[in-house]
A and B are shown apart, each in its own frame.
Chain A
Amino acid sequence: MRALDELDVAYRTAKTDPEFQAEFGNLLKNYAGVPSLLYRAERLSAATGAEILLKREDLNHTGAHKVRNVLGQALLAKRMGKPRVIAETGAGQHGVASATAAALLDLECVVYMGQTDTERQALNVARMRMLGATVIPVTNGSRTLKDALNEALRDWVASVDTTHYLLGTAAGPHPFPEIVRDFVGGIGVEARAQSLELLGRLPDAVAACVGGGSNAIGIFHAFVPDEDVRLYGFEAGGDGIETGRHAASITGGTSGVLHGARTYVLQDEDGQTVESHSISAGLDYPGVGPEHAWLHDTGRAEYQPVTDAEAMAAFQLLCRTEGIIPAIESAHAIAGAIRIIPELIQEIGRTPTIIVNLSGRGDKDVHTAGAYFGILDEVETLVPGESA
């Protein structure tokens, strides 16, 4: 497909163009607030028996790691002379980030969002519209992230001359997984350097949540050659793998082709994509980036499912011990990290050091979490109309 070839060529030249990289670096530093902190979470560490360091991507502008990817791709769109960007979004984080980058770089922006998600994440819909983006609720199929992605692909096929598809995760057809990985790859590069500076050594393990997999590949990539650093990806286990209601493509899926990539897919015996389930809209995707499939197949990274209940317990623990409200996506990484502590202690015979990618902040999830914990009545009286 010409659009992908064209993107591939444009990216190859941008990748090695010092001017492009300098512009990208400048935006990250002076606009997005990167590098994000590597924060020693002492109360969480004390509560869990490990030394836990949080990579504070939640402190970036727009509140998640995704700003890195959208700034890079929006610059790339400019470079290709495309005045319009389109994006798909699940939780709305990538949509908000895209709308932000489009506003900053003066690009027209259209965001496709599953109707189920526009209801779950009404505040993010408002944010995107405030930033000047057009939000199109997608009513096809399961009305979630994968259907938004389908719709964005359809738009792109018809609009490729004027439009860059600002894909939000390290999945989809080549060269997207590589482009996204490179733009978010600073997370791992920074975390690695910060760890050396803070501790004088590398961590024993790195943990991240995995939906499509962009924040995880972003923090993993720089550590892949460090064989002593264990890499853990935590997928959305929903109600539990055994219930079939989950979004854990690697642990609960099989090899297939989805959205132009060969990877692990939640599918039935006929190869039809199965609906995914997770309390976190951002992890609610029935596939996973092909590089994670590879890291899994080679054994370099280990992937485990984390249930909604485990994630929400970790969500609450982080709130209460550190005064940080995480995105529910990121709470999966916290929960997973806590789970692996005993086996790490057994393996290395001392208190393990774990870097957890705190990929996003939880503002967008206040309603979901409030409902989950049954503390919502007060929220509803305070913020009328938020209950979508």
Chain B
Amino acid sequence: MSISEVFHKAKAENRAVLVGCMPAGFPTVDDSIASMIAMHEAGCDVIEVELPYSDPVMDGPVIQRASDIALAAGVRTRDTLRIIESVARTGAAVVLMTYWNPIEKYGVNAFARDLAAAGATGMITPDLIPDEAAEWIAASDEHRIDRTFLVSPSSTDERIAMTVANCRGFVYATALMGVTGARTSVSRQAPDLVERVRHADPDLPVGVGLGVGNGKQAAEVAAFADGVIVGSALIRCVLDAPDRAAGLARLRALSGELAEGVREPQK
């Protein structure tokens, strides 16, 4: 299912889309596949696979730690593609979140081709701005990969307009002006930002990320956003678990709770 279809379907059901993030290869390739499949089965509509990167400056400490673990275990860009293939095969909608340098190193067009072949439908690029994305825009057009750039509360209206004009599928709105990591309460800046994005493009779905950690917060965000993006809280299920089985059980439980959250009666 394409990202647009996922958002359409959720809209028809009068609910928000749940996007769950997990670094590829954390803590091993097979474990990360199992985690992602469990997340999907327990209610994540979209699996956001994060390509582990040595310097993830737009992410918080939890994602960095998980990425470090994956890299130390030797995960490669090709492994990430293999993981995407395994997860997409189960019917999950998969998007990749990746910093730019690994893509450039792989070859931009070749990567778009192989990403599409692996079954991913979109790619989120946190450290690439549309002004410098000509090569990516061409490659993603050619291979029909949806493009998600980021907007934040500090973005000017002009930048928001320019960014959403270059997105396809959905735009990623960072709810807290800061980096990812589960917070105790949902930022107030988020609804304002979503409104500004809708003003620029009423039709493009808006996913809100950075901060959601439980079902209640998911419901709060679902009240004003089209998608709720959860990363650190899910990763922590695996990171803090005593063993693999316990980690998967926690992941299922939290995914289920979040899935209920995005379906709670709105407003």
B9 CB to nearest chain A CB (Å): 33
The answer to whether A141 touches B54 (Cβ under 8 A) is: yes
The answer to whether A272 touches B178 (Cβ under 8 A) is: no
Q: Scan residues 155-190 of chain A and give those whose CB is less than 8 A from a CB of chain B.
A: 157-158, 160
A100 CB to nearest chain B CB (Å): 27
For the complex, what is the distance from the CA of A67 to the CA of B231, rounded to whole Å?
A: 41
Interface stretch, picked from B28-36, B56-64, B239-247, is B56-64
Of the candidates A157, A265, A271, the one whose C-beta lies within 8 Å of that of B179 is: A157
The answer to whether A158 touches B61 (Cβ under 8 A) is: no
For the complex, what is the distance from the CA of A153 to the CA of B65, rounded to whole Å?
A: 17
Residues of A near B106 (CB, < 8 A) are 270-271
Residues of A near B179 (CB, < 8 A) are 154, 157-158
The answer to whether A1 touches B154 (Cβ under 8 A) is: yes
Residues of A near B60 (CB, < 8 A) are 154
B71 CB within 8 Å of chain A: yes
For the complex, what is the distance from the CA of A54 to the CA of B206, rounded to whole Å?
A: 58
Residues of A near B77 (CB, < 8 A) are 270-271
For the complex, what is the distance from the CA of A259 to the CA of B65, rounded to whole Å?
A: 19
The answer to whether B177 touches A158 (Cβ under 8 A) is: yes
Q: Scan residues 157-186 of chain B and give those whose CB is less than 8 A from a CB of chain A.
A: 159, 176-179
The answer to whether A154 touches B57 (Cβ under 8 A) is: yes
B76 CB within 8 Å of chain A: yes
Of the candidates B55, B56, B129, B154, the one whose C-beta lies within 8 Å of that of A258 is: B55
B105 CB within 8 Å of chain A: yes
A150 CB within 8 Å of chain B: yes
The answer to whether A270 touches B57 (Cβ under 8 A) is: no
What size tier do the contact residues of chain B reach?
20 to 34
The answer to whether B55 touches A141 (Cβ under 8 A) is: yes
For the complex, what is the distance from the CA of A278 to the CA of B103, rounded to whole Å?
A: 28
Q: Scan residues 207-263 of chain B and give those whose CB is less than 8 A from a CB of chain A.
A: none
Residues of B near A273 (CB, < 8 A) are 54-55, 101
The answer to whether A267 touches B57 (Cβ under 8 A) is: no
Residues of B near A378 (CB, < 8 A) are none
A140 CB within 8 Å of chain B: yes
For the complex, what is the distance from the CA of A245 to the CA of B210, rounded to whole Å?
A: 37
For the complex, what is the distance from the CA of A84 to the CA of B61, rounded to whole Å?
A: 23
For the complex, what is the distance from the CA of A141 to the CA of B71, rounded to whole Å?
A: 10
Residues of A near B61 (CB, < 8 A) are 140
Interface size on A, residues (CB 8 A): 26
Closest to B58 in A: A157
Of the candidates A141, A146, A269, the one whose C-beta lies within 8 Å of that of B105 is: A269
For the complex, what is the distance from the CA of A272 to the CA of B68, rounded to whole Å?
A: 11
B136 CB within 8 Å of chain A: no
Contact string against B for A residues 271-303, beta-carbon threshold 8 Å, 1 for contact and 0 otherwise: 111000000000000000000000000000000
Closest to B103 in A: A271
The answer to whether B101 touches A150 (Cβ under 8 A) is: no
For the complex, what is the distance from the CA of A269 to the CA of B102, rounded to whole Å?
A: 9
Interface of B, helix, strand, loop or mixed by DSSP:
loop
The count of A-to-B residue pairs whose CB atoms sit within 8 angstroms is 73
B198 CB to nearest chain A CB (Å): 20
Interface of A, helix, strand, loop or mixed by DSSP:
mixed
Residue in A5, A260, A272 whose Cβ sees the most chain B Cβ within 10 Å? A272
B87 CB to nearest chain A CB (Å): 20
Q: Scan residues 62-110 of chain B and give those whose CB is less than 8 A from a CB of chain A.
A: 64-65, 68, 71, 76-77, 100-106
Q: Scan residues 182-236 of chain A and give those whose CB is less than 8 A from a CB of chain B.
A: none
The answer to whether A259 touches B104 (Cβ under 8 A) is: no
B135 CB within 8 Å of chain A: no
A257 CB within 8 Å of chain B: yes
For the complex, what is the distance from the CA of A271 to the CA of B105, rounded to whole Å?
A: 5
Closest to B159 in A: A2
B14 CB within 8 Å of chain A: no
A83 CB within 8 Å of chain B: no
Q: A140-B68, A150-B55, A259-B55 are in contact. Are A271 and B101 (CB under 8 A)?
A: yes
Residues of B near A5 (CB, < 8 A) are 156
For the complex, what is the distance from the CA of A67 to the CA of B127, rounded to whole Å?
A: 31
Of the candidates A1, A2, A160, A271, the one whose C-beta lies within 8 Å of that of B102 is: A271
For the complex, what is the distance from the CA of A258 to the CA of B101, rounded to whole Å?
A: 7
For the complex, what is the distance from the CA of A221 to the CA of B149, rounded to whole Å?
A: 36
Residues of A near B103 (CB, < 8 A) are 271
The answer to whether A267 touches B127 (Cβ under 8 A) is: no
Residues of B near A272 (CB, < 8 A) are 53-54, 71, 102
A3 CB within 8 Å of chain B: yes
Residues of A near B129 (CB, < 8 A) are 1
Residue in B54, B56, B100, B176 whose Cβ sees the most chain A Cβ within 10 Å? B54
For the complex, what is the distance from the CA of A317 to the CA of B20, rounded to whole Å?
A: 59
A25 CB within 8 Å of chain B: no
Closest to A254 in B: B105
For the complex, what is the distance from the CA of A3 to the CA of B179, rounded to whole Å?
A: 15
The answer to whether B101 touches A265 (Cβ under 8 A) is: yes
The 30 sampled A-B contact pairs (Cβ below 8 Å) are A5-B156, A140-B65, A141-B55, A141-B68, A147-B55, A150-B56, A153-B57, A154-B60, A154-B179, A157-B57, A157-B178, A158-B176, A158-B178, A256-B104, A257-B100, A257-B101, A257-B104, A258-B55, A259-B55, A259-B57, A267-B105, A269-B105, A270-B106, A271-B77, A271-B102, A271-B104, A271-B105, A272-B53, A273-B54, A273-B101
B interface residues with partner A (beta carbon < 8 Å) = 53-58, 60-61, 64-65, 68, 71, 76-77, 100-106, 127, 129, 154-156, 159, 176-179
Beyond the given A154-B179, A257-B127, could you list 16 further A-B residue pairs with CB under 8 A, ordered by the A residue number? A1-B154, A2-B155, A2-B156, A140-B65, A150-B55, A150-B56, A150-B64, A153-B57, A157-B58, A157-B179, A158-B178, A258-B55, A258-B101, A260-B127, A271-B101, A273-B55
